[in-house]
Amino acid sequence: MAYDPVVSEPAAKRGTQRTAMIVDCDTGIDDSLALLYAVASPDCDLVAVTCTAGNVDARQVAENTRAVLELAGRSDVEVAIGRETPLARKLITTPETHGPRGIGYAELPAARMPLSSRFGPDLIVEEARRRPGELTLVTLAPLTNVALAVLREPELPRLLRRVVIMGGSYRSAGNTAPTTEWNVNVDPEAARIVFEAFGDEGSNRGPDRPSALPTALGLDVTERARFLPEHLARLAALAGCAPDGSMGGGPSGSSGGRSKGGGAAAGSAINAIVRYLADALRFYMEFHSRYDGFYGAFIHDPLALATALDPTLVRTEAVTVDVELAGRLTTGETVADWRRVWGRPPNVDVAVEAEIDRFFDRFVERVGALAAGRT
């Protein structure tokens, strides 16, 4: 069955079908790439962004999120901060993966757009009630805000059109402990609440829902999305600059004159988006080169966001998933009952395959075009 995204009014007038979306994130390098992809996508109506503690603390997440939206020319998007700690555990951040401020070596001007006065989980509930059946919620972070939202409004799964989650590891190894993925590991209690609340297929089913279950993209597919220097080179070429963002300077592919902090040589013109990507990703690539054996970076969150706009990018299988909360070695593991030994109905559509080349072509084209337009 063809996927039929919600058509918002102004977009309908322009003849473009757009998915009305709220993003919950912990920006974070790959979160920032997902936000750029959302802004760059003509089929995305970015309604609001809510911020969760994770890669960095929630205040820094809100700062990064607004700075990236301003970089992309979208200071009009509402950005709200949510709960600043996991539901039941101490917050652990990951400066070694994303840098001390969450954006690698990049430096962005301090955000000027105001922070919303709404509490993140309240924003999710209020918008879902205001537009029942219309909104797609994309989660790129620990599920703290979403758990609080569903505790406040148990009807949330039926008020949202669709939920797409970056989180978990269903048939592959973890990235935080041997079997656990970062987002679930930071707040496993929240993940358990969300998988339980959103996973009731019978009561979620509606006439125009593409699937009643949330779609989860775990490391099984997101670790196939390896952003390589050649992707940045292609994107920069589309933006008309070198891969370090410098314009009209040395040959394409040159990265000469770049400081660790990412400043361009004095007086030279730069493409700010490409420069941001180069400096953020250089940190991320160095991390992956140390821990994962390749000079590149997994871009988990952009793949999830792209899937929310185009579900045909992945193939899913419905499975029953529970979250381990009390393991000696496995707390935060997303345990998937592939053989149905529990005899419980599936509660998650888990992505098992992804069309990675198609995703990267789209990412490079869209973000490259956005960068070209922001020169």
Q: Give the footprint of Ca ion on this chain (CB under 5 A).
A: 26, 28, 31, 140-141, 301
Which listed range, 180-188, 273-281, 343-351, 367-375, lies at the site for ligand BDR (CB under 6 A)?
180-188
Q: Closest distance between ligand BDR and the C-beta of residue 82, in Å?
A: 15
Query: Considering the rule CB under 6 A, would residue 355 count as an interface residue with ligand BDR?
Result: no
Buried b (16+ CB within 10 A) or exposed e, 58-73: bebbbbbbbbbbbbbe
Span 139-168, contacts to ligand BDR by CB under 6 A: 140, 166
Nearer to Ca ion, 180 or 204 (CB): 180
Which listed range, 24-32, 118-126, 334-342, 360-368, lies at the site for ligand BDR (CB under 6 A)?
24-32
Q: Closest distance between ligand BDR and the C-beta of residue 345, in Å?
A: 27
Among 45, 63, 181, 324, indicate the residue that binds ligand BDR (CB under 6 A).
181
Rounded to an integer, what distance in angstroms lies between the CA atom of residue 272 and that of residue 206? 44
Is 98 one of the catalytic residues? no
Query: Considering the rule CB under 6 A, would residue 187 count as an interface residue with ligand BDR?
Result: no
Nearer to Ca ion, 5 or 28 (CB): 28
Query: Considering the rule CB under 6 A, would residue 182 count as an interface residue with ligand BDR?
Result: yes
Among 18, 23, 28, 284, indicate the residue that binds ligand BDR (CB under 6 A).
28
Span 73-132, contacts to ligand BDR by CB under 6 A: 94, 97
Neighbour tally for 358: CB within 10 Å: 13
Q: Closest distance between ligand BDR and the C-beta of residue 284, in Å?
A: 10
Partner in contact with 175, chosen from Ca ion, ligand BDR, none, beta carbon below 5 to 8 Å by kind: ligand BDR
Which listed range, 75-83, 181-189, 320-328, 335-343, lies at the site for ligand BDR (CB under 6 A)?
181-189
Residues that bind ligand BDR (CB under 6 A): 28, 30-31, 55, 94, 97, 140, 166, 175, 181-183, 300-301
**Catalytic residue ranges:** 300
